[in-house]
Amino acid sequence: MNILEVTKLCKQFGGIMALHRVTFQVARGEIFAIIGPNGAGKTTLFNLVSGALPASSGEMRYKTELLNGLLPHQIAARGLVRTFQTVQVFGNMTVLENVMVGRHTKTRYGMLDAALRLPAARAEEKRLRADALARLELVGLAPRANESAAALSFGQQRVLEAARALALDPDLIMLDEPGAGLTRAEVEDLDRLIQRLQKQGITVVLVEHNMELVMGIADRVMVLEYGQKIAEGTPLQVQHNERVIAAYLGADTFPIG
Amino acid sequence: MNLQRQPTALRSLGVNARAFSRDFIGYLVLILLLGGMGWIEIVQPGDLSLPKLTGGLLTLDMLTRVGLFTIVLVGLNLLMGYAGQVSLGQAAFYGMGAFFSAILTTRAAALGIPASLSQAWWWAWLVMFAGMLLTGACAYLIGVPILRLRGHYLAMATLGMGVVVYVLLKENLAVPQLNLTGGFDGVHSIPRLRIGDFVIWPVTRYFVLVWFFTFLVIALGLNIVNSRYGRVLRAIHASQSAAESVGVAVHKSKAQIFALSAALASLAGSLYAHFQAAVIPATFGFGESLELVIMSSVGGLASIWGAPFGAFAVLLLKELLRTQLRVVFPGVKGEFEAIAFGVLLIVIMISMPEGLTTGMLKAYRRWRAARVLKQEIAESLEPLGMK
Ligand SMILES: Nc1ncnc2c1ncn2[C@@H]1O[C@H](COP(=O)(O)OP(=O)(O)OP(=O)(O)O)[C@@H](O)[C@H]1O
Ligand SMILES: [Mg+2]
């Protein structure tokens, strides 16, 4: 069964067609990678699906529900979350608090409960802390829970952003170049994390330039070029696709193996 | 793994303890200061009084004002310091509360409110509470469209809102026949607050009342800052798109905090009306909004404790300039006060850009860190006999 269905999606920025009639489906539970040269429209695709930008035309469905016209926070609340290519952690908060914000929608207590610190608020805060800490444990950031998020290394901030998104208990997570700027060891951790998410039943849509990572873990790969889909299939199929090889000719990131 | 877990748990305790002790110190300093000054003024031991001790600089009147401003500033700090949303029109809400109380306690008969209600002791309190709700609701409605703007645009929009409210107050809400706001002259003969037959006046009593409310508001503010709402405010400040991406209804949250800050300003306005017994529109113009922003920045925007200290510092500074400038420089005119005030502000903001509270806290930490370092160096040199 498909968790995400995108049909003939277009996005125009002035004269630029950033996305042109892109159609694809993501099956529940799979790791779906999107690759393509710089400026191919990968981030734009995330921006449309997550509601950050309106689509020019086309349709996006999540669990059969139409996403077009929904606001970002509404989409997130439905269990579809994304991370950002340019890291956006909350630098004015601790690592733990960042994850707690990620779990905001799972908390209920009202402004009055908060202002008066009523038992309802206190109980929920306690649970929230524990839940957030568990997410940090999952990504290995628990020892740094009380440090300022701004003090983390670039790679760790990426990981924190993923933990923050995971705090929502999403069914689908879209990661925009999670491997960029990570050390080799960190990329291996990332690889393991993504596989663990899959085991937990979370669907992963991955935009990534690190081909070793992509070809190692993706179930299926879609290739974009100049806003258009030029190929789709298993990593092996994609690597041997003529158009894909042509698109990457000259680029030293691809192909591998 | 276990080794890793333990320090985490300890550290999480540590942070809580730090936040707690910081707030504890804040309360303590404030209570000691106010309690001490209030005690001197009320008991007047050995014929001493606050004005005598301070050369007329500190009076209960002034300290009451500090309390009133603090109430407004807690709201403004939540809005500007935590959520990062500028308001250059906060005096409008302050004025709305003041005039709401003033009108409904002096013109009740003209408005067709039966005397059995308007003469009851609790009427003024009810009006104060209703004013908060009404002002908050107004702010929410205004906030939904204008808080979509960012940066300078939001500043301009709130400034415009402030001007509109000011003009409405000055022009009798555009219905001169009713003469509700009293136009340029405002409303006077506002009754004192009462609890039963106990009148909360003279100023010694009012000082206690205002600071009771002020402490309440500080406590509420601190609680909100440390709750899911406080975190959302900071998240919006750091990155609106990231906040949205994890399900935060950003626009709603901004409107909510705008409404809360307006309700607090309204509370302070009502208390001000019963304090002065007279209100005029001129008090609630752009100048006042600007002064609030100045107090907020001087105290430290992103801190609830910045509110009382910012209000105190600015009022004290103005009073000092008003009384002392002429002593030091005989013959200077009133405008020099404004110039000196401006220059001093610039000096403060350059030396402590995060405001007095955060600035002093940081200075203290630096000083302590330097001392620890010195000691460590000394200790490490000792075994080498190089002391
Ligand atoms: N907000 C925007 N306004 C105008 N043009 C945009 C905007 N966002 C993206 N574009 C343009 O759309 C095209 C696709 O950009 P996009 O960021 O989606 O590429 P990408 O595949 O993510 O590239 P990269 O690998 O470098 O991240 C580019 O030509 C870019 O300049
Ligand atoms: Mg991109």
Say yes or no: A118 contacts chain B, CB-CB below 8 A. no
Provide the residue range defining the domain that includes B362.
355-387
Contact assignment for B15 to A94 by CB distance below 8 Å: yes
For residue B252, what is the nearest residue in chain A, using CA coordinates?
A: A73
What's the rounded mean pLDDT across residues A22-47?
96
The reply to whether B85 and B65 lie within a common domain is yes
- Distance CA(A65)–CA(B37), nearest Å, equals 64
The reply to whether B136 and B190 lie within a common domain is yes
For A:44-83, CB contacts with B below 8 A are 50, 52, 71-73, 76-77, 81-83
- Distance CA(B174)–CA(B152), nearest Å, equals 29
The reply to whether B34 and B100 lie within a common domain is no
The pLDDT of residue B17 is: 54
Last residue of a domain, one of B37, B53, B69: B53
pLDDT at A255 over 70: no
CB A91 within 8 A of CB A148: yes
- Chain B closest-CA separation from residue A47 CA (Å): 10
Contact assignment for B247 to A142 by CB distance below 8 Å: no
- Any residues with CB less than 8 A from the CB of A224 and at least 6 apart, and which? A22, A34, A35, A36, A40, A41, A42, A45, A230
| C-alpha closest to that of A209 among A189, A236, A230, A187 | A187
Ligand nearest to the CA of A45: 1
Q: How many domains does chain B have?
A: 3
CB half-sphere exposure, A227, CA atoms < 13 A: 15
Contact assignment for A72 to B241 by CB distance below 8 Å: yes
Burial-class residue A246 by CB neighbours within 10 Å (0-12, 13-18, 19+).
exposed
pLDDT at A249 over 70: no
The pLDDT of residue B323 is: 80
The reply to whether B221 and B248 lie within a common domain is yes
pLDDT (tens digit per residue) in A227-240: 999 999 999 999 99
> A44 alpha carbon to ligand 1 midpoint, in Å?
6
The reply to whether B378 and B256 lie within a common domain is no
Tokens of B219: 């406590």
CATH code, domain with B166: 1.10.3470
Contact assignment for B245 to A90 by CB distance below 8 Å: no
| C-alpha closest to that of B316 among B146, B78, B66, B125 | B66
Ligand nearest to the CA of A227: 1
| C-alpha closest to that of A5 among A203, A207, A219 | A203
The pLDDT of residue B320 is: 86
- Distance CA(B190)–CA(B128), nearest Å, equals 13
ipTM here:
0.92
> B252 alpha carbon to ligand 1 midpoint, in Å?
29
Cα–Cα distances (Å) from B146 to A199, B243, B299, B342, in that order, read 45, 19, 26, 30
- Distance CA(B126)–CA(A140), nearest Å, equals 54
Residues of B with Cβ-Cβ distance to A96 under 8 angstroms: 12
- Any residues with CB less than 8 A from the CB of B179 and at least 6 apart, and which? B172
pTM value?
A: 0.90
The reply to whether B333 and B386 lie within a common domain is no
**pLDDT tens, N- to C-terminus, chain B (387 residues):** 333 343 444 444 444 555 667 788 888 888 888 888 888 888 888 888 888 888 778 889 999 999 999 999 999 999 999 999 999 999 999 999 999 999 999 999 888 899 999 999 999 999 999 999 999 999 999 999 999 998 889 999 999 999 999 999 999 888 888 889 998 899 999 999 999 999 998 998 999 999 999 999 999 999 999 999 999 999 999 999 999 999 999 999 999 999 999 999 999 999 999 999 999 999 999 999 999 999 998 988 888 999 999 999 999 988 888 888 777 777 777 777 788 888 888 887 788 778 887 788 788 888 888 888 888 888 888 777 665
- Chain B closest-CA separation from residue A91 CA (Å): 7
Residue B326, φ and ψ in degrees, nearest 5: -75, -25
